[in-house]
Structure 1
Amino acid sequence: MAKRALIVVDLQNEYDAGGKLPLENLDQAVANAKRVLTSARDRQDMIIHFRHETPGDKDAPFAVGTTGTEILAPVAPIDGETTLTKNYPNSFRDTCLKQLLDEAGVEDVVIVGAMSHMCIDATARAAFDFGYGVTVVGDACATMALSSNGVDVPAPQVHAAFMAALAFAYGQVVSTTDLLDA
């Protein structure tokens, strides 16, 4: 079996109801991410947590030093788990993620977190481009409603469109139950 790593992307306070960018279905995504995280710990998979920060503007979402950058308690790292900070949607950009995965001999990555249409999408595509097997746990990810050219797109449709696009060519998109039963 190939060596696997779990990448937990940006499950932070900023996305909770009191944050600057509240997401729909975040509670369900966090509960599922916690189940995936517990399984990865039991399997002794490599686990890497990401925190997004926005340097410079102290009023921006994810401003450095604010509670918005803190990882949500149910999926908080424990001793021995790596936490990296990123400033871009792609978790590989300007971080040591690829180096850590390669040094550990990781071949497959499992991705959970937020937001489906930004950091999950960018990280999954980059992982595929770097040659990793990619699994996104769709129900352990959350997003928000978007609008483009006067067209409002509800969060479930945003999420479904991005999961469908990733599943089309970049990897597997599975449910928490399917991942844990495999």
Structure 2
Amino acid sequence: MTDAPKTLLELAGATPAPASLNDATLVVIDAQNEYVRGPLTLPGVGPALGAIADLLAQARAAGAPIVHLAHRAPDGVFVEGTEGAEIAPQAAPLDGETVFLKELPNGFTNPDFRPALERLGRKNLILAGFMTHMCVDSTARAAVDLGYGVTIVENATASRALPGAVGKPSRSAQEVHDGALAGLADLFAVVVPDASKLG
């Protein structure tokens, strides 16, 4: 019997704790209608949006700062002015919650995003949104490079099925989602199952 695998954090003796809404900024990533209907519809998007709504309510009640990221593209999907590009009603920002537009997966490619976070003065980010393997992953890794602690709320994220690479079988949405979170939990983020597990 082989030993269970360990994360790089565990091998280094680190035991990072989840962020708390008392000392973190909540970042909701691309919670947009393109993922609710059409070619990018995500399995489980309804429950994930419900979890995002609950997380937003919890953050607002705690007085935590909240920022939103939204993807834009010149054609195809996420086109400015289309229903698909709009943030889903469950995740709609309230007055005072800024929406930063981006054209790449990593939210920090918007030059205004990092300065806005720095003005908030919190070094921990709580991430939720879509897709786990793409924009959540890219933003989380960039955040760590910039010195932020990252916590991801698992049930407030989702992915889609992907074709297998190098001739391997395709991967279900759940496999892609779980694999992305496993990679992030190795070094880049604390992953919690739901908002009740935040510090």
**TM-score, normalising length: structure 2:** 0.85
Of 170, 176, 196, 1:158 maps to 176
* Partner residue, 2:92: 76
Separation (CA, whole Å) in 1 of partners of 2:191 and 2:117: 21
Structure (1/2) with the larger strand percentage: 1
3-state SS in 1 of match to 2:81: coil
Which residue is equivalent to 2:9?
none
Q: How many residues were matched structurally?
A: 177
From 13, 19, 33, the equivalent of 2:38 is 19
Cα-to-partner distance string for 1:113-162 (whole Å, 9 max, x where unaligned): 00011000001101111111100111100110001234210011100000
Q: What SS does the aligned partner of 2:110 have?
A: coil
CA contact (8 A) 1:144 1:154 kept: yes
Q: CA RMSD in A?
A: 1.4
Q: Distance in 2 between matches of 1:149 and 1:26?
A: 28
Residue in 1 that maps onto 2:54 = 35
Which of the residues 152, 155, 166 maps onto 1:136? 152
Q: Aligned equivalents of 1:170 and 1:153: distance in 2?
A: 23
> Would the aligned equivalents of 1:138 and 1:173 in 2 still touch at CA under 8 Å?
yes
Deviation at 1:95, TM superposition (A): 3.3
Tell me which of 163, 171, 180 is aligned to 2:189: 171
SS in 2 for 1:24: coil
Greater Rg, structure 1 or structure 2?
2
Amino acid at match of 1:86: K
CA contact (8 A) 2:153 2:195 kept: no
Query: Residue in 2 aligned with 1:4?
Result: 24
| Deviation (angstroms), 1:80 | 1.1
Q: Specify which of 104, 113, 117 is matched with residue 101 of structure 1.
A: 117
Q: Percent identity at matched positions?
A: 39
The whole-number CA distance in structure 2 between the counterparts of 1:78 and 1:6 is: 13
Contact persistence 1:10–1:49 (CA under 8 A) = yes
* Structure-1 separation of matches of 2:158 and 2:61: 24
- Structure 1 stretches of 5 or more lacking a match? none
Structure 2 stretches of 5 or more lacking a match?
A: 1-19
Write the distance in 1 (CA, Å) between the matches of 2:94 and 2:41: 25
CA deviation profile, 1:2-49 (whole Å, cap 9, x unmatched): 731000000101001x23311111011111111111111111111001
**Residue 86 of structure 1 contacts residue 95 of structure 1 at CA under 8 Å; is this kept in 2?**
no
Structure 2 residue aligned with 1:92: 108
Q: Is the 8 A contact 2:30 2:70 kept in 1?
A: yes
Any runs of at least 4 consecutive aligned residues in structure 1 with deviations exceeding 4 A, and if so which?
none
